[in-house]
C-alpha cells in the first residue's frame, strides 16, 4: 500500500516553496502606555452607571458598571442561540457551546498580543465593548442566562457550557460563584461544564474546588506553542504577567485532578512556530492523556498583532489534519515527516486512509471540548472565531463536498482518480 508521502507530488512541491508565518515575521507591537486616569476601568467605575439587563457592545453608550459574578459576557453566537440577540449566522443555526466570559470594568489585567481583550486597549475602549475572537460579547446577568437554559435543559441546543476566566484578582472566586449559580439549577450531567482557566492566578486548591463543584473538563489556554512565543506574546515581551512554567504547572495538576481525556490545552497555530513544533506539543499532550484544541491565528482588530498576516491556509490545514490524526486516529508524531523548514511532508498514514479522513471532514471542524454527537465533534464550534465566513479556517458545521474540494486544494492533496 502506498504511503501518503507527498514529496513526489508536483502540486505539493510548489506549495511548500511558499511561505508560512515565521517566527521572525510574527513580532507583536509593543504596548503603548495608558494614561493613569484611564487605567483599571476608571471611566466606567467613576461614572458608575447601574446596569439594567442585557448590554449590547458598541452602542455608543458608556458601558455600565457590570461585574462578575452577577454579570458575564457571552459570545454573539451564544446570545443568538439563547434568543437574547437576533442575527443570522452564515450556514449555522446555532452554537452548541454556551461560552461565558467573566467581566469587570477593569477587564483582563493581562496583555496578550493577539487578544482583543488585552489591557493595553483600556485607553481606547471600555472592556465590555472590546471584540474578542472577531466578535462582540454582550453582557448579560447570569441569572437571566440560567433562567432561560433551566426551563428545558434536557432539550437545550447547548451541549456544553464553558466559563472562560480572565486575568483578574477576583476571577478564581467568581468562577466558583458562576459555576454554583449554574449547577444549582442545571444538572451538569445534562449540560456538562468546561473551565477555560487562567493559571496565572490559580492554585491546586482552585482546580480541586472546580472539580468538586461539578466541572467536567479543565483546559489551559497555552495559546503559544513554544516558550519563546509564549514569552513574546503573553509574557515579558508585552508587559503581561503570564509564565510558561506556571501554565504547565496548572495543566499537570488538572491532569491529576480531572483525569485522562478531561483536560487539554488551546494552541494558536501561525504565531511563529513551525509545524513540527506545534505537532510535538500536540503529541506531548496526547501522551499525557489530554487533548489539544487548535485556533488559527487571525489578526484581531485592535490587538498588538493586528498588522500581521493570518495563518496561510495550507499551513493551517496541514496542522489541523495532523492534529486530528494524532488525537483521534492513533497516528504518532514520529510517523510524520517534515521538510527543513518544519513543514509536514508525510502524514504517516497510507494514502487511502488519509483520503478517508479528509473526506469525512471532521478533521476540519472547530476543535474543542466534545458535545453530544461524537467524541471528535466539538460542542465548542465558535462560529467564525478564527476566520471570516468567506475563508473559513475552523468549520463550525460539517464541510460539504464543495468545502472539501477547497480544503484539498489548500492541502495540496488532490483526489486520486480511479482511471490514473
Ligand atoms: S489572559 Fe486571556 S483574556 Fe486576558 S489578554 Fe490574555 S488571552 Fe486575552
Q: What is the pLDDT of residues 129-187, one digit of tens each?
A: 888 888 889 999 999 999 999 999 999 999 999 999 999 999 999 999 999 999 999 99
Angle subtended by helix axes 227-234 and 244-258, to nearest 10: 110
Say whether pLDDT at 418 is over 70: no
Ligand 1, atom nearest to 223 Cα: 7
CA distance 377 to 370: 6
Say whether pLDDT at 61 is over 50: yes
Decide: 166 in ligand 1 pocket, CB within 6 A: yes
pLDDT at site 160: 96
The string of pLDDT tens digits covering residues 272-328 is: 999 999 999 999 999 999 999 999 999 999 999 999 999 999 999 999 999 999 999
Say whether pLDDT at 18 is over 70: no
pLDDT at site 420: 46
pLDDT at site 4: 38
Decide: 167 in ligand 1 pocket, CB within 6 A: yes
Say whether pLDDT at 247 is over 80: yes
Average of per-residue pLDDT values in the chain: 91
CB 186 within 8 A of CB 146: yes
The string of pLDDT tens digits covering residues 68-91 is: 999 999 998 899 999 998 888 788
Say whether pLDDT at 63 is over 90: no
Ligand 1 pocket mutation pick from 68, 112, 223 by most atoms within 8 angstroms of CB: 112
Q: Which residue's alpha carbon is nearest to atom 3 within ligand 1?
A: 166
CB 295 within 8 A of CB 224: no
Say whether pLDDT at 8 is over 70: no
pLDDT at site 392: 95
Decide: 118 in ligand 1 pocket, CB within 6 A: yes
In the numeric block, which cell numbers belong to residue 399? 464541510
Ligand 1 center from residue 333 Cα (angstroms)? 30
Decide: 117 in ligand 1 pocket, CB within 6 A: yes
CB 58 within 8 A of CB 136: yes
The string of pLDDT tens digits covering residues 84-120 is: 988 887 887 778 999 999 999 989 999 999 999 899 9
- Sorting pLDDT into bands at 50, 70 and 90, what band is 212? very high
Ligand 1 pocket mutation pick from 75, 108, 199, 266 by most atoms within 8 angstroms of CB: 108
Rg (C-alpha) for the chain, rounded Å, is 21
Amino acid at each position: 500500500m502506498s504511503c501518503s508521502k507527498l514529496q513526489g507530488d508536483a502540486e505539493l512541491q510548489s506549495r511548500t516553496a511558499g511561505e508560512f508565518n515565521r517566527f521572525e515575521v510574527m513580532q507583536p507591537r509593543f504596548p503603548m502606555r495608558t494614561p493613569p486616569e484611564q487605567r483599571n476601568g476608571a471611566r466606567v467605575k467613576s461614572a458608575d452607571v447601574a446596569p439594567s439587563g442585557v448590554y449590547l457592545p458598541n452602542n455608543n453608550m458608556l458601558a455600565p458598571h457590570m461585574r462578575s459574578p452577577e454579570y458575564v459576557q457571552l459570545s454573539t453566537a451564544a446570545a443568538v442561540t439563547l434568543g437574547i440577540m437576533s442575527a443570522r449566522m452564515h450556514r449555522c443555526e446555532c452554537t452548541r457551546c454556551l461560552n461565558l466570559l467573566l467581566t469587570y470594568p477593569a477587564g483582563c489585567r493581562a496583555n496578550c498580543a493577539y487578544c482583543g481583550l488585552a489591557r493595553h486597549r483600556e485607553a481606547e475602549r471600555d472592556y465590555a465593548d472590546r471584540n474578542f475572537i472577531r466578535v462582540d460579547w454582550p453582557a448579560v446577568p447570569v441569572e437571566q442566562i440560567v433562567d432561560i437554559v433551566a426551563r428545558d435543559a434536557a432539550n437545550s441546543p447547548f451541549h456544553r457550557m464553558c466559563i472562560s476566566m480572565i486575568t483578574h484578582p477576583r476571577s478564581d472566586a467568581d468562577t466558583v460563584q458562576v459555576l454554583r449559580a449554574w449547577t444549582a439549577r442545571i444538572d451538569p450531567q445534562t449540560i456538562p461544564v468546561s473551565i477555560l482557566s487562567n493559571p496565572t492566578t490559580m492554585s491546586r486548591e482552585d482546580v480541586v474546588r472546580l472539580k468538586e463543584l461539578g466541572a467536567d473538563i479543565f483546559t489551559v489556554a497555552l495559546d503559544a506553542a513554544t516558550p519563546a512565543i509564549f514569552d513574546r506574546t503573553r509574557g515579558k515581551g508585552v508587559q503581561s504577567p503570564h509564565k510558561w512554567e506556571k501554565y504547565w504547572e496548572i495543566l499537570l495538576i488538572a491532569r491529576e485532578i480531572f483525569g485522562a481525556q478531561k483536560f487539554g490545552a488551546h494552541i494558536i497555530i501561525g504565531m511563529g512556530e513551525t509545524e513540527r513544533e506545534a505537532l510535538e506539543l500536540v503529541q506531548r499532550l496526547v501522551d499525557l492523556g489530554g487533548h489539544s484544541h487548535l485556533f488559527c491565528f487571525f489578526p484581531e482588530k485592535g490587538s498588538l498583532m493586528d498588522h500581521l498576516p493570518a495563518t496561510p491556509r495550507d499551513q493551517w490545514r496541514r496542522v489541523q489534519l495532523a492534529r486530528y490524526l494524532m488525537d483521534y486516529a492513533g497516528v504518532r508524531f514520529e510517523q510524520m515527516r517534515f521538510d527543513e523548514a518544519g513543514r509536514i511532508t508525510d502524514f504517516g498514514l497510507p494514502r487511502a486512509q488519509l483520503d478517508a479522513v479528509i473526506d469525512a471532514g471532521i478533521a476540519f471542524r472547530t476543535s474543542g471540548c466534545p458535545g453530544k454527537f461524537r467524541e471528535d465533534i466539538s460542542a465548542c464550534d465558535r462560529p467564525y472565531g478564527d476566520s471570516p465566513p468567506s475563508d473559513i479556517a475552523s468549520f463550525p458545521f460539517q464541510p460539504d463536498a464543495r468545502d472539501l474540494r477547497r480544503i484539498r486544494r489548500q492541502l495540496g492533496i488532490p483526489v486520486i482518480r480511479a482511471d490514473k
